[in-house]
């Protein structure tokens, strides 16, 4: 049996022997068959759209329900004229975001894509919307900052997810608290928003459409950066944000000097990991694969329990360590 974890809509070519036997009906073009766009229930009938979950530079994300079974979904509308990077997929021109998100669907820590629609002026991504979820920006805002045990757990999940995406040839390029969902019941994190991402490459990137305050000094200074060290920099900004409650730099000059002022009580090993990620000189910056081996990451949690409850405003986060 085919066990590939694909979205219900976009079916790329793959080598599963069983699936290879499924021959599309003659009246269906190969492209239509691959993208699963034949005989589809129209979006308006398939989903009910609810309240706005978030608004960003590229469009609006709504909560919604799948009509056939009431499943909770998130519906992201992206205006066609906001799409700058395109990919060809199954013979169709699609936003790069779709191709990248689809390429990392097998990664545990990435949001699942359920459906995709193309319209004259826009694209619609339908994604899973895990119950009892908040984005990490809201969690940090509610809690002011994260205790180190929780930050470690969250950071480890993100680093592992990012490594798995890189292994599949996808670089996210906009890692930040707003693009991470926290399941408040399980403590599981999901990476969302591949809208600024790219296909990973060894050469330098010369374009960047992520968030400037998470961008590395080499981008600010020379409009060039290499994928992995830039990811490491953004992870350093994220870890600082988790344990201090806010990002370390606002202005370009601050990014370029990389001077850090910890405004909360943060342990030395944790400070050391943040500093290792935020070294201005590329050759001094920690390698992505080495983050997971840093002493702070391998520290035993202070309260040695398998689950604990931390309070997040009016919600509880059940933390699985
Ligand atoms: N699958 C989802 N489930 C729940 N909330 C989501 C989901 N996807 C996005 N959101 C919310 O919508 C916001 C914007 O979504 P995002 O994909 O980051 O769009 P943009 O490209 O505009 O930044 C996120 O910060 C998050 O709060
Ligand atoms: Mg976003």
Q: How far is the CA of 211 from the centre of ligand 1 (A)?
A: 15
Taking only the tens place, the pLDDT of each residue in 25-72 is 334 444 445 555 556 899 999 999 999 999 877 789 999 999 999 999
- CA distances 65 to 5, 49, 127, 203, Å, are 22, 7, 11, 42
Residues 241 and 198 in one domain: yes
Q: How far apart are CA 291 and CA 269, in angstroms?
A: 12
pLDDT for the residue 302: 53
In a domain, 5, yes or no: no
Last residue of a domain, one of 128, 162, 187: 128
Q: Which CATH number covers residue 227?
A: 1.10.510.10
Q: Say if 74 falls within a structural domain.
A: yes
Residues 122 and 204 reside in one and the same domain: no
Low-confidence residues of the chain: pLDDT under 70:
1-39, 301-321
Same domain for 173 and 291, yes or no, is: yes
pLDDT score at 306: 37
SS3 148: helix
Output the CA 178–ligand 2 centroid distance in Å: 6
Q: What is the pTM of this model?
A: 0.87
Which one is catalytic: 115, 138, 149, 174? 174
Domain end among 65, 96, 128: 128
Q: In this predicted structure, what is the pLDDT of residue 36?
A: 57
For position 299, what pLDDT does the model report?
87
User: Are 68 and 111 within one domain?
Assistant: yes
Q: Are residues 162 and 289 in the same domain?
A: yes
Half-sphere exposure of 185 (CA within 13 A, CB side): 4
Same-domain check for residues 38 and 52:
yes
- 196 and 246 part of one domain: yes
Q: Residue 38: its pLDDT value, please?
A: 56
Residue 88 lies in a domain: yes
pLDDT of residue 308: 44
Range of the domain at 305: 133-319
Quick: pLDDT tens for 174-197: 999 999 999 999 999 999 999 999
172 with 299, same domain: the answer is yes
Please say whether the beta carbons of 174 and 196 come within 8 A.
yes
The answer to whether residues 236 and 282 belong to one domain is yes
Per the domain annotation, does 2 fall within a domain? no
320 Cα: distance to centroid of ligand 1 (angstroms): 24
Rounded distance between C-alpha atoms, residue 278 and residue 287, angstroms = 11
Verify that 141 and 67 share a domain, yes or no.
no
In a domain, 4, yes or no: no
Within a domain: residue 83? yes
- Residue 56 Cα: closest atom of ligand 1: 22
Q: Catalytic annotation on 272?
A: no
Which of 39, 55, 66 is closest to 127 using CA atoms?
Answer: 66
The ligand 1 site (C-beta within 6 Å) comprises 53-54, 56-59, 61, 74, 76, 111, 127, 129, 133, 135, 178-179, 181, 192-193, 195
- Is 11 among the domain residues? no
| Domain shared by 167 and 84, yes or no | no
Separation between Cα atoms, residue 124 and residue 49, nearest integer Å:
12
Residue 112's domain is classified under what CATH number?
Answer: 3.30.200.20
184 and 260 share one domain: yes
Structural domain ending residue among the three candidates 72, 95, 128: 128
Cα 87 to Cα 97: distance, rounded to the nearest angstrom? 9
* pLDDT at residue 39 in the model: 64
CA distance 80 to 59: 10
Asked if residue 109 belongs to a domain, the reply is yes
Domain count, the chain: 2
């Amino acid at each position: 049996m085919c066990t590939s974890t694909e979205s219900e809509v976009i079916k790329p070519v793959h080598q599963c022997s069983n699936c290879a036997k499924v021959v599309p009906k003659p009246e269906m073009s190969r492209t239509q068959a691959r993208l699963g766009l034949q005989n589809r229930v129209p979006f308006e009938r398939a989903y009910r759209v609810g309240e706005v979950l978030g608004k960003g530079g590229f469009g609006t994300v709504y909560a919604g329900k799948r009509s056939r079974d009431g499943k909770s979904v998130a519906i992201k509308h992206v205006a066609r004229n906001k799409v700058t990077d395109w990919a060809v997929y199954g013979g169709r021109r699609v936003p790069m975001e779709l191709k990248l998100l689809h390429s990392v669907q097998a990664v545990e820590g990435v949001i699942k894509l359920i459906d995709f629609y193309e319209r004259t002026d826009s694209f619609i991504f339908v994604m899973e919307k895990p119950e009892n979820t908040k984005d990490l920006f809201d969690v940090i805002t509610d809690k002011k900052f994260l205790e180190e045990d929780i930050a470690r757990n969250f950071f480890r999940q993100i680093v592992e997810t990012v490594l798995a995406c890189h292994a599949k040839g996808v670089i996210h390029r906009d890692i930040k608290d707003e693009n991470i969902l926290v399941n408040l019941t399980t403590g599981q994190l999901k990476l969302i928003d591949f809208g600024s991402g790219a296909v990973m490459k060894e050469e330098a990137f010369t374009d960047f459409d992520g968030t400037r305050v998470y961008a590395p000094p080499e981008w600010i200074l020379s409009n060039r950066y290499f994928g992995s060290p830039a990811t490491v920099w953004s992870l350093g900004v994220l870890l600082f944000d988790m344990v201090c409650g806010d990002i370390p730099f606002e202005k370009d000059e601050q990014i370029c000097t990389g001077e850090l002022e910890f405004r909360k009580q943060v342990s030395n090993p944790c400070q050391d990991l943040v500093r290792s990620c935020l070294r201005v000189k590329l050759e001094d910056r920690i390698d992505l694969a080495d983050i997971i081996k840093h002493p702070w990451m391998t520290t035993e949690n202070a309260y040695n329990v398998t689950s604990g409850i931390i309070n997040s405003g009016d919600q509880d986060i059940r933390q699985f360590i």
